[in-house]
Chains A and B, each alone.
Chain A
Amino acid sequence: MTGDDARTKAGHGRRGFLKAATLGSAAAVLRPSTLLGQPRSGRSLGEGVGGYGDRSPFETTLRRVRGSRYAQAAGSLTPLQNLNGSITPSALHFERHHSGIPEIDPSEHRLLIDGLVDRPLVFSLAELQRMPAVTRTYFVECSGNGRVKWSPAEPDTDAQAAFGMTSCSEWTGVPVSALLREVGASAGASWVVAEGADACRMTRSVPLDKAMDDTLVAYGQNGEALRPAQGYPLRLLIPGWEGNICVKWLRRLRVVDQSYLTREETAKYTDLMPNGEARQYTFVMDAKSVITRPSGGQQLDEPGFYQISGLAWSGRGRVQRVEVTTDGGRSWAEAQLQDPVLPLAHTRFRFDWSWDGSETTLASRCIDETGDVQPSRAALIAARGTQSSYHNNAVQGWRIGRDGRVENVDV
């Protein structure tokens, strides 16, 4: 049985959610009244307390592993279409690893900061956790998120497949600025090379300005220690910038005088243009949004009320406005944003809608506080061609068929 089958059977699946608005009175007729008014759970003792909580056995949504030759150099996608609010559960945070997830004993892990510094220092995790800390909510998005949208829309592509390489967490850690003050960056320092402790020693160059601005060395995620897949015990968190530069399993920061042109900022994570030139240091993630309910693969069971819900975010700042169309782009109206709207974080938007049963297309577009507007796919391709791989933030359309089936469509 597939996960989808399991959810449907349990009545808590994505289809189940969409049925929920209509079940009420009908269910009271069809089901024995004792099940609704006097549920079995009220007549027998439940489970006792426990050490570490599990989700309900009825909740079965999972990350989806993207096909790859090696499980260690692969990605898994967050099921955005099955989530609520703006925080991604740590266990469902998307993954992208280049040489597997290392197992690291935190008592043996060290962070070395060296290079153009007055005092190269080695920090234990315990020492880092003694330092002044901050907690911030930020999304992390792979710059390849939305990559499928460089190709014409496949009807069966769902929100998870097209947008699942973004996740949002509350991160806790030490500002890199504080660490660089401890070591004393020398004159001439302009970049910081970050290196991970995984099997490829993932390495990226970070401009010193951004490192000193809002970059964290994070050890906490959603109240816990980082998950191993998210860099346990230590990762770089560079707000609003592509996920790859947020080096996981962070073991070294080397202060240097230029970009080090590592493999991941040259051969990869550069954006090829139609004229053969490639854009480099395309760090920022652009304004983006996606309707997650209803979205691809889901089913509207009958005409009537459905609240449209989705996520919007921008690496340039706060989401200022999200507009929704329910008529294939002929008209757009402003969606409600869930407060608080945090900069560089997922923002939940909602839009009340009543489906009249006719075929139509839904879509959303994000406008951030810098005025950056999420473009149409056609406008994006007109500017960049189809070979740039990364940073596709095109508007996502979902066509509602007369049968209520929701499919991926270009708008």
Chain B
Amino acid sequence: MSSRSLHAGIALVTVAMLGAGKVEGQTLLTGLGRLAVPSELETWGAIVGPDGAGLPSGRATAAEGRVLYDRRCAACHGLTGQEGPDARLAGGRDSLAGDQPRKTVGSYWPAATTLWDYVNRAMPFDQPGSLTSDEVYAAVAYVLFLNDLVDEQDPVDADSLPRIEMPNRAGFVDDPRPDVVAAQAPRP
């Protein structure tokens, strides 16, 4: 049975189970789309969750990441991650409540997994997708090292990355809006 007809078969069964007379409007399944096979799913690339879901195998240390960072990252982010000209990656600890908050990986980001996910999908800016998994781990390890979040020789991998304690992990609150009390305008 092909994947297409398999899906269509499921759709027919589901429709039958809903029972005649109980089906309203457009709740019938169409049976459109074809079943994705597991080997195909891997080719779509990683999506990484905060618990490490989606992280591939591979491992690197900050010491291994230094050369890669200097060569592929530093031109935009600075040798220490603080100079720019583009997004500041390091520093800024304890600056968030001040007049000039610096929102960096170390001062602001709530999860270290975000860094792996973003570097893997979007960096370097002009060559996205060009890093291997090991290279992404290496770049991530070095940026975490620049923020004093790992030591030079700490292995960063799918097991250790989700367990890294980000300093601002508890710094986020849910949306309290509407919150501007003074907005209650007098009626004309």
Contact = CB atoms under 8 A, between A and B. Distances in A.
Given A182-B33, A279-B175, A286-B177, A260 B27 contact: no
A335 B111 CA distance: 47
Contacts of A70: 125
A201 B122 contact: yes
Q: Which among A122, A284, A367, A373 has the greatest number of chain B C-beta atoms within 10 A?
A: A122
A127 B33 contact: yes
Contacts of B121: 200-201, 203
A267 B109 CA distance: 6
A267 B128 contact: no
A375 B183 CA distance: 4
Interface stretch (B66-74, B135-143, B144-152, B166-174): B166-174
A266 B166 CA distance: 12
A340 interface: no
Contacts of A380: 180, 183
Interface string A233-267: 00000000000000000011010101111110011
Contacts of B108: 266-267, 278
Interface string A84-106: 00000000000000110000000
A384 interface: yes
B33 A276 contact: no
Contacts of A151: none
A272 B176 contact: no
Contact of B183 (A251, A267, A373): A373
A178 B7 contact: no
Contacts of A112: 36, 41, 44
A198 to B, nearest CB: 9
Contacts, number: 182
Contacts of B109: 266-267
Contacts of B85: 69
Contacts of B23: none
Interface of A: 69-70, 73, 98-99, 112-114, 119-123, 127-128, 130-132, 178, 181-183, 193, 195, 199-201, 203, 251-252, 254, 256, 258-263, 266-267, 270, 272, 274-284, 286, 323, 331-334, 365, 367, 372-376, 378-380, 382-384, 387, 391
Given A70-B125, A128-B32, 5 more contacts: A119-B7, A199-B122, A203-B47, A266-B109, A382-B180
30 contacts: A69-B85, A69-B86, A112-B44, A123-B33, A130-B30, A131-B32, A178-B26, A182-B11, A193-B47, A201-B122, A203-B117, A254-B47, A256-B53, A260-B49, A260-B50, A261-B50, A261-B110, A261-B113, A262-B118, A263-B114, A263-B118, A266-B108, A266-B110, A267-B87, A275-B97, A278-B96, A280-B172, A332-B185, A333-B188, A372-B183
Top 8 closest pairs, chain A to chain B, by CB: A276-B97, A375-B183, A379-B182, A121-B33, A200-B122, A276-B96, A201-B121, A263-B118
